[in-house]
Structure 1
Amino acid sequence: MPRILTYNVHRCLGTDGQLSPSRIADVIAAYEPDVVALQELDVGRLRTGGIDQAHAIAQALGMHVHFHASLKVLEEEYGNAILTHRPSQLMKAEALPGWARKPGLEPRGALWACVQIGGTDVQVINTHLGLRRHERLAQIDALLGPQWLGHPACREPVILVGDLNATPRSRAYRWLTSHLWDAQAQVPLPRPKATFPSRLPMLRIDHAFVSRSVRVLRVETVRTPLARVASDHLPLLVEFQVGQVKGHRPAFAHAQE
């Protein structure tokens, strides 16, 4: 069954202070995902040795990569990526709105790739939302709008993943779950799978949301000794199956019928 993994890699800086894209790749490789969504990647930044972390990890995994820079300063970039060994096409990669009253906040963005899995085009959106409630709500509003989930091309099946910086009690989370389903709610789990901080995970801020034609078979956080040290977040892995897809309406239009 296909698997998708979402992982905030914290610019490949581990909790031990060591910088290692190869260690991040090793954490991912052990679970053999078909699609990988990464957040907080450095590309060409002096602070991380000028490495293109997105391509380094993709190369180690034998995958191709779609990268979007949320932040650019001269030649230095910082952002998110979707990696896969499946046929794929980048559909959109753009900035998300911030909070008008706080224009100096860190820029945020999202990217959307169409990934062919088992003969079906799966729409995968990866994002990393802001730290402030007001900016997260503006960003969720944009993602639910006509340029992203409401776009005619963003039809079933759809998976939205990423670091939302929002717990299940937040308004941003509740707003998303009024349109898509939380993957963790689709399988019987003894307790919710927290992802942050990696050494002693207490918060559930890394999420996977699915449209109705995606059947979630398994959800787990990767809690290996290597994962606990490679980043300050743990990866979230979702194993799924794609069901019958009918019609061409935007995916989120189906979610609460």
Structure 2
Amino acid sequence: MGKMPRPFLPALFSSRLVNGMFGLVALGWALGAWVGERTLPTLLLAYLPPLLWLLPAGLALLWSVGRRRGRGLALLTLGLAAWGAGLLHWRPQADGELRVLTYNVARGSQGTAAALLSTLQASDADLILLQETNLLDPAKGLALRSGLSGYALTQGREVWTLSRWPVLRQTQHAVPGSTRTFAETWVKGPDGRTLRVVNAHLGTVLITSALRGDTAKVRRTAQARREQVALLCRIAAHEPGPVLLGGDLNTPPRGRLYRRLTGCFGPDAHDRAGQGPGWTFPGLLLRIDHLLVRDLRPTRARVLSMAGSDHRPLLVEYRWGR
């Protein structure tokens, strides 16, 4: 068999490189999304900042342009990475009847009470779900309560649920593997309908521990998160009717736990009514704060500008019905 022509070798290498990059992005995304928390490697894939997938896709495109070969597949690879990162996400939006805000205020450590209060008041939300409300400065808590005097406040351990609507009752659920509680509140809407509101802060996936080689700690936290999600699903199934889950779920919009939560509580508001990537944790460009709801239809979801926290507030408008 004769030798392959010299020009054929770079072309073959270029084609294989682009094919490999496409396979890397597609396989990595699929494993993170569908296998997710089942194994440690796929858990890490699920919780990686999604913009990282743009790196191999961009390299493939640059290589294909320089070699003038495989540009179509390279563009497809880049498009897949951009779609996975949420950069191409767009849904039509409209005004709603109910406005809900969820916001991890990071114990008030990164801003003044005035800045936090301004963000909350400007949202004009009917329901406000706050996490990490065990504020470092108790005076900030007093200032927030005073500035939000038009809301009924129910408290759990480090979560606040504030409602303009009458509160019928509330209860707390101890969170497995944590000192936190999930706050469940029943509120009565203007038309007399009852809405259950679950304010939750799930444990963090300690990826840094995996990078240090402490896989045992990662497995412990992953098991605690599975138990926490199981508890939330039991809460959702406890009674029929409209129920809303909101908070810092420390979970990107992919993986097995995310799918289980949407299966128990209903669709993610940003998926149905958001535009763009919707990053609520800008430090790592992640969307980990969510609002999921059953028997309500999201009409607009948007992430507000950051003021006083390492998270960004998520504001969603809803209409009754599916």
- Say yes or no: TM over 0.5: yes
Q: Which has the higher strand share?
A: 1
Q: 2:154 aligns with which of 66, 69, 74?
A: 66
Aligned to 1:206: 289
Partner of 2:279: 194
Shift of 1:172: 1.6
Q: Is the 8 A contact 1:4 1:238 kept in 2?
A: yes
Instruction: Give the aligned CA root-mean-square deviation in angstroms.
Output: 1.9
Structure 1 unaligned regions, length at least 5:
70-78, 99-105, 245-257
- Any runs of at least 4 consecutive aligned residues in structure 1 with deviations exceeding 6 A, and if so which? none
Query: SS at the partner of 1:5?
Result: strand
Pick one of 127, 136, 146 that aligns with 2:225.
136
Cα gap change, 1:108 to 1:49, in 2 (>3 Å)? closer
Distance in 2, Cα, partners of 1:136 & 1:192: 24
3-state SS of paired residue (2:116)? helix
Partners of 2:284 and 2:303 lie apart in 1 by 10
How many aligned positions are there?
207
Question: Which amino acid counterpart does residue 145 of structure 2 have in structure 1?
Answer: A
Is the contact between residue 168 and residue 204 of structure 1 (CA under 8 Å) also seen in structure 2?
A: yes
Q: Distance in 2 between matches of 1:50 and 1:29?
A: 20
1:51-81 CA-partner distances (Å, limit 9, x unpaired): 372x542320221210111xxxxxxxxx101
Q: AA paired with 2:233?
A: L
Give the 3 Å change call, closer, same or farther, for CA 52–113 of structure 1 in structure 2: farther
Deviations 1:30-51 (A, max 9, x none): 11000000000126xxxx2333
SS at match of 2:181: strand
Give 1:183's aligned residue.
Answer: 269
Match of residue 2 from structure 1 = 98
CA distance in 2, matches of 1:125, 1:35: 11
More helix by percentage: 2
TM-score by length of 1: 0.75
**Corresponding position: 1:90 with 2:166:** no
Match of 1:121 in 2: 194
Q: 1:101 matched to which residue of 2?
A: none
Match of 2:236 in 1: 149
Provide the identity percentage.
32
> Shift of the alpha carbon at 1:85?
1.9
The separation in 1 between residues aligned to 2:169 and 2:116, in whole angstroms, is 23
**C-alpha contact (below 8 Å) 1:22/1:60 kept by paired residues:** no
TM-score (normalizing by structure 2): 0.60
* Amino acid in the other structure paired with 1:157: P
- Bigger Rg, which one: 2
